[in-house]
Structure 1
Amino acid sequence: MSEAFRKSFEVRWDDVDLNGHLRSTRYLEYATTARLGFLVASGWDVRALQKEGFAAVLLGEEVRYRREVFLTEQVEVACEVVGLTEDSARWRVRQTVFREDGEEAAVVHSLGAWIDVRARKITAPPAGLRAVFEAARSEECEVL
């Protein structure tokens, strides 16, 4: 098990709602950006995925809000793999949004899969990509 990948964000004026809180949709956008950052940091940017003929598809997301986040605060999103099928074709990633004070602001669970873009079907990823997800498994990672 490895340490979770982390990405930081500053909450900008266009990230907040009329109440001055981080907008609900922005939590999902931060989670997606952090997930992409995890792939890029692991050597799997968009070009590498395209070269292999693979893409990630999102099958569903769930967000649980825990604490408020306000304008100009710094947040950090930690990404961990919490579920994989035996062939790693389908995955579940937990993205935890932390406030400046270290408290959890929200937890986003994303369920996704790898798709072979030529065949247009869910399939096991290339060995190198599979290894990246295997290495990012959390301690409580379950078999999907």
Structure 2
Amino acid sequence: MTEFVRAVQIRWSDLDPNFHLRHSVYYDWGAFCRMEFLNANGLTPAAMAKLGIGPILFREECTFRREILMGDEVSIKLSVVRAREDFSRWSIQHQIVKAGDTVCATITVDGAWIGIRERKLVTPPEQVHHVFELMPRAEVFAWQ
């Protein structure tokens, strides 16, 4: 897949007292985009429960570049920037863009898979490998 992009809507409740997007909304949009990608490729919450795994985050960081205001047209793009070859650990980047080409923020998350019964990190099953192979790779993608 060359690109995975989702449009997002700005709600009144997403704004702070300065009438621009609250910082926590960016993180919510990142989670939304990641789950949209997994769901679109068959790795739904029900599928993960059946496999006995779930994603966890070790780090989530956002770099803010431009403000987002009510009425802006905003989309979020997802790509994997680093991964172990077994996809047991990974880093995903999200670019939040307004007006089609203005990068407003970049979110980077570092994560892994946890066995929901064992409550320990696990190597994911083959179905996860297949989904992550479909994820667009950043220009700076590197195997860990």
TM-score for the superposition, normalised by structure 1: 0.94
Q: Give structure 1 stretches of 5+ with no counterpart.
A: none
Runs of 4+ residues deviating >4 angstroms: none
CA contact 1:12–1:72 (8 Å) conserved in 2: no
Q: Hey, what does 1:8 align to over in structure 2? A: 7
Deviations 1:57-102 (A, max 9, x none): 0111110111111013221010101110122101100010000242
Shift of 1:134: 2.1
Q: Give structure 2 stretches of 5+ with no counterpart.
A: none
1:38 aligns with 2:41: no
Q: Hey, what does 2:117 align to over in structure 1? A: 118
Deviations 1:25-60 (A, max 9, x none): 000000110110010001111001001001000111
SS in 2 for 1:22: coil
Query: How far, CA to CA, are the matches of 2:119 and 2:142 in structure 1?
Result: 26
Q: CA RMSD in A?
A: 1.2
Deviations 1:104-131 (A, max 9, x none): 0100001110111122111111112112
TM-score for the superposition, normalised by structure 2: 0.94
Alignment of 1:1-144 (within 5 A): 2-136=1-135, 137-144=137-144
Query: How far, CA to CA, are the matches of 1:99 and 1:121 in structure 2?
Result: 39
Query: How far, CA to CA, are the matches of 2:121 and 2:133 in structure 1?
Result: 18
SS in 2 for 1:140: strand
Query: How far, CA to CA, are the matches of 1:101 and 1:81 in structure 2?
Result: 21
Query: How far, CA to CA, are the matches of 1:139 and 1:131 in structure 2?
Result: 20
